[in-house]
Chains A and B, each alone.
Chain A
Amino acid sequence: DVKVTQSSRYLVKRTGEKVFLECVQDMDHENMFWYRQDPGLGLRLIYFSYDVKMKEKGDIPEGYSVSREKKERFSLILESASTNQTSMYLCASTGLRGASATQYFGPGTRLLVL
């Protein structure tokens, strides 16, 4: 079974702090994604990566950056956290590139920014 893990289930941070959300997958997948989930808005794509050192902006990249130094790990960075970044963050991965590929999701990190 594919396993996608996220470093924290819950995080509480203060406005202005630098925040790191970590995601690790154990299936040697090339492609990894970060989404945020908000009530009534569904999931929205923040960033994705097709390979180590590569990154692409999704639909809502503002206020975020990412890092992919190793194939299995994809980090989401909030350079200066703000209250409007309070949300559930979900990481996903897939081994195939293409529109029909199934994405496998981690359990999510619920972030509260005070």
Chain B
Amino acid sequence: AQSVTQLGSHVSVSEGALVLLRCNYSSSVPPYLFWYVQYPNQGLQLLLKYTSAATLVKGINGFEAEFKKSETSFHLTKPSAHMSDADEYFCAVTGGADGLTFGKGTHLIIQP
């Protein structure tokens, strides 16, 4: 079984500041990890995924995430926040072939 914990249902940063969205996972098998973004009134779009090839994963829109097995974490970062980054972000894990297990989501708020 697997689970995901996203710390903070809302995260607020200033425009131009570092974005850090936290994700910790639990999995009984080597995990595959995903970050998705949800635009308003739309489905989810993949930002990036970890599939064991490299621990630092680069995604779209300047986001990246680092897999740390010792900390069971997969935090999402972006060096400089833009107003257009204000959306909801979901971390997800899968250890088997049967669908994704999602965290509860984090709303990213960008302050001008």
Q: Which residues of A contact B (CB under 8 A)?
A: 4, 9, 33, 35, 40-45, 48, 56, 58, 90, 92, 97-100, 102-108
Contact = CB atoms under 8 A, between A and B. Distances in A.
Most buried by B among A43, A56, A107: A43
B57 interface: no
Interface in B79-112: 90, 92, 94-105
24 contacts: A9-B41, A33-B99, A40-B104, A42-B4, A42-B6, A42-B90, A42-B102, A43-B44, A43-B92, A43-B100, A43-B102, A45-B101, A56-B98, A58-B98, A92-B44, A97-B97, A98-B97, A99-B31, A99-B32, A102-B34, A102-B46, A102-B49, A103-B100, A108-B41
Contacts of A9: 41
Given A99-B95, A100-B32, A102-B49, A108 B43 contact: yes
Contacts of B49: 100, 102
Interface of B: 4, 6, 9, 31-32, 34, 36, 41-46, 49, 51, 90, 92, 94-105
Nearest to B9: A40
A109 to B, nearest CB: 10
Most buried by A among B43, B94, B105: B43
Nearest to A9: B41
Contacts of B104: 40-42
A80 B98 CA distance: 26
Nearest to A45: B99
A70 B91 CA distance: 31
Contacts of A103: 46, 100
A114 B104 CA distance: 26
